[in-house]
Every structure is written in structure tokens, then in C-alpha cells.
Amino acid sequence: MLRNRLGIVLLTALAPAIWGSTYLVTTELLPPGRPLLAGVIRALPAGLLLIALTRRLPKGSWWWRSLVLGALNIGAFFALLFIAAYRLPGGVAATVGAVQPLIAAGLAAGLLGDRLTPRTLVSGITGVVGVSLLVLRANARLDAVGVTAALAGAVVMATGVVLSKRWTSPAPLLATTGWQLTAGGLLLLPVALIVEGAPPSHLTGDNLLGYGYLTLIGAALAYALWFRGIRALPSTSVTFLGLLSPVVATALGWLVLGQDLSAVQGLGAVIVLGSLVAAQTQRPRAATPPTAPTAPTVSGPAAEHPAVRT
């Protein structure tokens, strides 16, 4: 059981690790100044591809649930991330976004009945400290709109993770992933057209390679692994894995782009990894439900009727 859980954690961790490479791909391969277009191309084609492969469409309540989850996990999150990225230095945006595990823990306590433990709170606070040491700079300037957008992005993503745990889809994983990616991409498309205008008329080979990577690896593969992890693991544990993204982004900047890596950043990375391990090694405990009164014994014909499930 423990080995199986470790395997699921490691596979789920691949998703934020892949997302950590987005900065490198965007700066080195994509046209400048088109982050919303990158978000649309990352989500919509991947979603349509997965729907075509699974040949499954939502049924019943999953039409509106897919729209809600797609907006939270992808559409609204990408848009808020875009605003935060443009209004704040990257370090500030990442540090504010690092509060997501704490928000998810609070939501999971209210919506899923998970117990909010001191260990989770300490791990969450430690994670924020680690990310700030890793990416925050002393000359970083704050902007009220940017901070609000970054915080709202953390809230909508945490809400999306918790609701994805609460609403378990009866469809195969790839189909559910395709629905959310398609919904998020469709919601983001008009925003991208209004803010950034029409897509560029000419794309280079590097541009196509970058967009292909974001679609197939950064969305189709990564989100399938992410949503699989949400199904199998506690929602709070999954959101802590998201702290891997700034660690991977910093490491790739150092290894590939030759960016400087200070001792303080190294300490921040160690602290982040420590908070991840602490969060993953904690056994989830559900809140103790109130004791229900003992039901009277029913005999006779009434006892033959099935109980009503709540």
C-alpha cells in the first residue's frame, strides 16, 4: 500500500514539474507577449484531442460541472496568472501563489470533512517561506491589483482541486480531463482575442515546437496525471506538490539558461522539498462526524423497504 501510494505521488508530482518548464519554453520558443494565446493553445487542442480519443461527452450534471471545473482549474486560473505575471515581479507572484496548499486545506476541511492538522499548517507556512527564499527579490515591488490576481488565482485553483475531489466523475480519467481542458480553453479564447488580438500570421519552427510541447506534454499528459492524483490522493497533498513548479523553473533557469543560483535560493529549495515530504508523509484523517442517534428497530412490512441513501 505504501509503495503504491509513493508511486502515485511521484506520478502526480510530474505534472507540476512539467509546468515548471513552461517559463523556459515560453521565453525560448514562443512569440513574445502572447501568454493568453499560449494558454488557449495549451488547453483547447489538448482537450479536443482527448475527447476525440475517448469518444465520450459529458452526461447530465457533468455538462455544468465540467464547465465549472474547467473554469477554475484552467480558464480563470490562466487569466488570473496572466494578470499577476504582468503586474508583479515573478518572485512575488510565485510567493503569493504558494499559499494555495493552505487555502486548499481550509476548503477540504469545510467541503470534504478533512481534518486541518497543525502539521499541515506548519508545512504550508514553511512552503511559502521556502518559495519566497527561492524566487523573491529584495527590490520586488508590490501592486494591489497584481497581488489580488495572484491570490485569486491560488483560491480558484485550490477550489478546483477540492471540487474535483468532491465531484468524482463516472467517466474515464482521460475523458474528464478532456472536458475540463476544452471548457477552460473555450472560456479563455475570447479573453485572449480581446486582450491580445488575432494570433500571429506567421509561426516559426520553434514556435510550433513550443506550442506542441505545451499542448501534448504541458496539458494532455500533465493534467491527466494531475487529475489522476486528485482522484487517488488527499486534495491537500496534491496541492502541496504544486510547490515543485518554482523549484523546477529555478533549476532549469540555472542549468539551461545559465542564471545565477545563490545559497539562499538553494536553502529555499531545500525548505520547499522538506515541506512537500512532510505533507506527503502525513496520514489523512477525516474529521470525526457527530454521533447520530440510534435508529429504532423496525419490524414487519416496513422493514422490507430499502433505506433512503443520503
309 falls within a domain? no
67 falls within a domain? yes
301 falls within a domain? no
Q: What is the pLDDT of residue 307?
A: 35
6 falls within a domain? yes
Q: What is the pLDDT of residue 90?
A: 61
196 falls within a domain? yes
307 falls within a domain? no
164 falls within a domain? yes
43 falls within a domain? yes
Q: What is the pLDDT of residue 306?
A: 33
Domain count for the chain: 1
pLDDT values of the chain reduced to their tens digit, one per residue, 310 residues: 556 888 899 999 999 999 988 888 888 898 888 888 989 999 999 999 999 999 999 999 999 999 999 999 999 988 888 888 777 766 777 888 889 999 999 999 988 888 888 999 999 999 999 998 888 776 667 778 888 988 999 999 999 999 999 998 889 999 999 999 999 999 999 999 999 999 888 899 999 999 999 999 999 999 999 999 999 999 889 999 999 988 998 888 889 888 888 899 899 999 999 999 998 887 655 444 444 444 443 333 333 333 333 3
One-character DSSP codes across the chain:
-HHHHHHHHHHHHHHHHHHTTHHHHHHHHSPTT-HHHHHHHHHHHHHHHHHHHHT----TTHHHHHHHHHIIIIIHHHHHHHHHHHHS-HHHHHHHHTTHHHHHHHHHHHHT-B---HHHHHHHHHHHHHHHHHH--TT----HHHHHHHHHHHHHHHHHHHHHHHS--SS-HHHHHHHHHHHHHHHHHHHHHHHH-SPPS---HHHHHHHHHHHIIIIIIHHHHHHHHHHHS-HHHHHHHTTHHHHHHHHHHHHTS-----HHHHHHHHHHHHHHHHHHTSPP-BPPPPPPPPPPP--SGGGGSPPPP-
Provide the residue range defining the domain that includes 67. 2-285
Q: What is the pLDDT of residue 13?
A: 94
